[in-house]
């Protein structure tokens, strides 16, 4: 068994969860915040049998698409580190960050 942890943009989360559940995958949703833009993300935790990992990744890829966004204010960390960036700036957001880890033991109680 594997644990798939996927971090997606909030606007992709509900559609992705619906698609995962329609394909008989159990999914747990956690609210999270991105580092660079401090924008809302969703972390999805999906327990899956080894042979279905690629199927989950394909479903995530079909929904979580990258897009461009205009950032009008710098993240707080740039000021404290002495980094200068002209604003507004166009940045790429969206897509998904996916981790697949082995599950030693799984129990549902």
The whole-number average pLDDT for the span 93-103 is 90
Q: What does the pLDDT look like over 57-96, one tens digit per residue?
A: 999 999 998 777 676 665 555 555 555 656 676 766 678 9
Phi, psi at 55, each rounded to 5°: -65, -45
Domain ranges within the chain, ordered by starting residue: 2-65+94-102
Give CA 73 to chain center in angstroms. 23
Q: SS3 sequence, the chain?
A: CEEEEEEEEHHHHHHHHHHHHHCCCCEEEEEEECCCCCCEEEEEEEEECHHHHHHHHHHHHHHCCEEEEEECCCCHHHHHCCCCCCCCEEEEEECEEEEEEECCCCCCC
9 pLDDT exceeds 90?
no
Domain 2-65+94-102 listed as CATH 3.30.70.120: yes
């Amino acid at each position: 068994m594997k644990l798939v942890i996927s971090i997606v943009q909030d606007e992709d989360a509900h559609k992705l969860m619906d698609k995962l559940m329609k394909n008989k995958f159990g999914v747990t949703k956690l609210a999270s915040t991105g580092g660079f833009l401090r924008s809302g993300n969703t972390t999805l935790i999906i327990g899956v049998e080894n042979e279905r990992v690629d199927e989950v990744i394909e479903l995530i890829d079909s929904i979580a698409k990258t897009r461009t966004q205009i950032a009008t204010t710098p993240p707080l960390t740039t000021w404290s580190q002495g980094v200068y960036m002209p604003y507004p700036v166009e940045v790429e957001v969206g897509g998904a960050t996916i981790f697949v880890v082995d599950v030693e033991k799984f129990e549902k109680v």
